[in-house]
Each structure stands twice: as C-alpha cells, then as structure tokens.
Amino acid sequence: MNKQELVDAVAKRLGITKGRASEITELFFSESGVIAAELRRGGKVAISGFGNFETRTRAAREGRNPRTGKTITLKASTVPAFRAAKALKELVNRKR
C-alpha cells in the first residue's frame, strides 16, 4: 500500500473526502508531521497495539566506496526506527 492508497482507504473508512483524508495522513506521515517532529526532538511515539517510532544511534564505522573500493569512515548518525507491538505481530501472524 502506498501513500495514495492509504489516503483512499482512510477516506472510504471514515466517509470523508479524499482531500480531507490526505490532510489527516499528511498530519502524521509528512516531513513536518507529528511523528517526524517528535523524532527530531529526540522523543518517541508509542501507539498502543501498533508499535513505537523512535530514534537509534548508529556508531561510526568503516565503509567502502563501491566505485573505487577505497575504505572510508562513515560518521555516527541518528536514524528513525519502528518496533511493532506484540498485538500487531500477533495479528500479522494469525492464520487466516
């Protein structure tokens, strides 16, 4: 499911226009949305029964330039991460 399909599903489920559903979706998932804003502040977004959005720190490490083969040092970085809740994992793995 891509973003447009998500918008369509939200519109249908809530009985609202696709424009309004797009606004709601953007509120959560855009670069300026609430999830990204909280992660930028170093916070965590916990959605009960769904999962947690959080940041993790990747340590500096050695890498290799694929074009030249030269070894380079990759800086430490902060990356977004998602950890699914137990309820979501069980739902996904439930036999149909």
Could you read off the pLDDT of 72-90 as tens digits, one per residue?
A: 999 999 999 999 999 999 9
Same domain, 79 and 55: yes
The arithmetic mean of pLDDT across residues 17-43, rounded, is 94
User: For residue 96, what pLDDT is reported?
Assistant: 65
Question: How high does pLDDT run on average in the chain?
Answer: 95
Q: How confident is the model at residue 95 (pLDDT cuts 50, 70, 90)?
A: confident
Backbone angles phi, psi at 95, to 5 degrees: -70, 140
Give 54-62 contacts, CB < 8 A, sequence gap 24+: 54/80, 54/81, 54/82, 54/83, 55/79, 55/80, 55/81, 56/81
Same domain, 1 and 26: yes
Q: How many domains does the chain have?
A: 2
In a domain, 48, yes or no: yes
Average pLDDT over residues 28-36: 92
- The separation between CA 91 and the C-alpha centre of its own chain, rounded to angstroms, equals 19
Dihedral sign, Cα of residue 92, residue 93, residue 94, residue 96: positive
Domain annotation covers residue 36: no
The residue range of the domain holding 6 is 1-30
Same domain? For 10 and 48 the reply is no
Average pLDDT estimate for 47-71: 96
